[in-house]
């Protein structure tokens, strides 16, 4: 029979994720499976927990990967923390803030929102006003809004909430591994991420961390978590303690990949990794501007790993992406929602953030646009 896997090409992944993967991570994915209760696998789990804590700058015991993609991390944070009619504030300036609202509403939370123009950051003073008017159980925001390329002021919002009863919930899907996150110092209580962005591991796991305050909220629920698969009160018994209780079969080989991806970041040094993202982001922006292109987001709020480029008037943006993929073997992303057709999204995530990739994209884009 024809095997489609033989025809997979080596594509330079410069979209909004998945990102390029280091050969060592691919090798890790293909290591022999062992059992999910094998003592050696538990050592690997423990190392993943420890390494995630280092990268997140947190002491949180409950710091684990969920068995799904980044969006399962979002689902997990909300479903474990929300009970019916809980007041939740979601700060929205892109697709992923909207997704948070949808997730929370499906779980019957009482959801308020504060909305900001797409391409601009959340305004801290407006958040301050809003939370002074009403007591929220959860305030939720996206750190790196993948749909626009905006970095939200997560530390500053955290400072507003310090000492309050409110649980501070942050989406770090695209930020983790690309910019600093200081979970404890910033007062973040619940955080999720994904493997396929700046961690440079294929998609399939969602790192998640809960502070003691978030765990206390989980443990004092009046009702069972209405999602068996993502119920952290059961899952944590598999991830800690001397005897591990089976919940569901962990995605063994994906954990090998995540373990290796984290090791690569720690070996390079997180600060060096963040600097590398910034360096090649600057090189990319300079190159794009030299070509006469402009960025959607103002310099102060730009993410290094997700670069939103305004599509020049009269250019068929889909045709450009198609040419880049077919002819140059480079993937970049389209705009979403109100930005569909208006921007390209160029990822410089994790292993992708290198000079040779910036150079190759700029050359390809120049040829395509000329």
Question: Tokens 């990268």 belong to which residue?
Answer: 55
Contact segment (CB under 8 A) with a copy of itself among 16-24, 268-276, 290-298, 304-312 equals 16-24
Handedness of CA 80, 70, 127, 115 (dihedral sign): negative
List 50, 59, 85, 106, residue binding a copy of itself (CB under 8 A): 106
Shortest Å distance, C-beta 221 to a copy of itself: 12
Burial label for 93, CB within 10 Å (0-12, 13-18, 19+), is buried
* 30 contributes a contact to a copy of itself by CB under 8 A: yes
* 176 contributes a contact to a copy of itself by CB under 8 A: no
Contact segment (CB under 8 A) with a copy of itself among 34-42, 160-168, 174-182, 352-360 equals 34-42
* 166 contributes a contact to a copy of itself by CB under 8 A: no
Site for a copy of itself in 318-347 (CB under 8 A): 325, 331, 336
Shortest Å distance, C-beta 227 to a copy of itself: 6
Nearest CB to a copy of itself, comparing residues 58 and 72: 72
Burial label for 87, CB within 10 Å (0-12, 13-18, 19+), is middle
Q: What DSSP assignment string belongs to 217-250? A: HHHT-SS--S-STT-HHHHHHHHSSSSPPP-S--
List 131, 144, 179, 254, residue binding a copy of itself (CB under 8 A): 254
Question: Which secondary structure element, helix H or strand E, spans residue 368, and what is its range?
Answer: helix 355-369
* 242 contributes a contact to a copy of itself by CB under 8 A: no
* 4 contributes a contact to a copy of itself by CB under 8 A: yes
Handedness of CA 69, 48, 153, 160 (dihedral sign): positive
Residues 82 and 88: their CA atoms lie apart, in Å, by 9
Shortest Å distance, C-beta 300 to a copy of itself: 28
- What lies within 8 Å, CB to CB, of 53 at 6+ separation is 59, 60, 63, 209
List 125, 133, 219, 267, residue binding a copy of itself (CB under 8 A): 267
């Amino acid at each position: 029979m024809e095997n489609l896997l033989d025809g997979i090409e080596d594509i330079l992944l410069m979209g909004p994720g998945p990102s390029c993967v280091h050969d060592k991570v691919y090798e890790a994915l293909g290591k022999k499976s062992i059992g999910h209760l094998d003592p050696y696998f538990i050592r690997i789990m423990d190392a993943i927990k420890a390494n995630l804590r280092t990268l997140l700058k947190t002491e949180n015991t409950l710091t684990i990967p969920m068995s799904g993609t980044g969006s399962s991390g979002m689902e997990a944070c909300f479903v474990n923390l929300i009970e019916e009619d809980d007041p939740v504030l979601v700060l929205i300036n892109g697709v992923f803030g909207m997704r948070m609202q949808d997730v929370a509403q499906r779980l019957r939370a009482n959801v308020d929102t504060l909305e900001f123009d797409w391409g601009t950051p959340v305004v801290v003073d407006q958040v301050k006003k809003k939370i002074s008017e009403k007591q929220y159980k959860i305030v939720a925001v996206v750190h790196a809004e993948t749909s626009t390329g905006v970095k939200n002021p997560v530390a500053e919002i955290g400072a507003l909430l310090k000492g309050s009863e409110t649980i501070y919930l942050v989406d770090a899907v695209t930020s983790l591994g690309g910019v600093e996150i200081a979970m404890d110092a910033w007062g973040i209580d619940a955080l999720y991420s994904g493997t396929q962005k700046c961690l440079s591991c294929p998609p399939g796991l969602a790192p998640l961390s809960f502070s003691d305050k978030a765990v206390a909220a989980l443990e004092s629920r009046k009702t069972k978590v209405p999602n068996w698969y993502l119920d952290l009160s059961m899952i944590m018994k598999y991830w800690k303690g001397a005897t591990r209780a089976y919940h569901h079969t962990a995605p063994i080989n994906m954990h090998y990949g995540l373990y290796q991806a984290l090791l690569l970041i720690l070996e390079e040094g997180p600060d060096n990794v963040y600097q590398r993202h910034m360096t090649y982001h600057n090189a990319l922006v300079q190159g794009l501007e030299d070509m006469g292109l402009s960025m959607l987001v103002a310099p102060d709020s730009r993410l290094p790993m997700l670069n939103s480029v305004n599509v020049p008037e009269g250019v068929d943006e889909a045709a450009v992406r198609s040419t880049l993929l077919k002819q140059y073997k480079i993937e970049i992303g389209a705009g979403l929602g109100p930005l569909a057709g208006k921007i390209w999204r160029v990822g410089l995530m994790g292993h992708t953030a290198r000079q040779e990739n910036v150079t190759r994209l700029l050359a390809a884009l120049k040829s395509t646009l000329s």
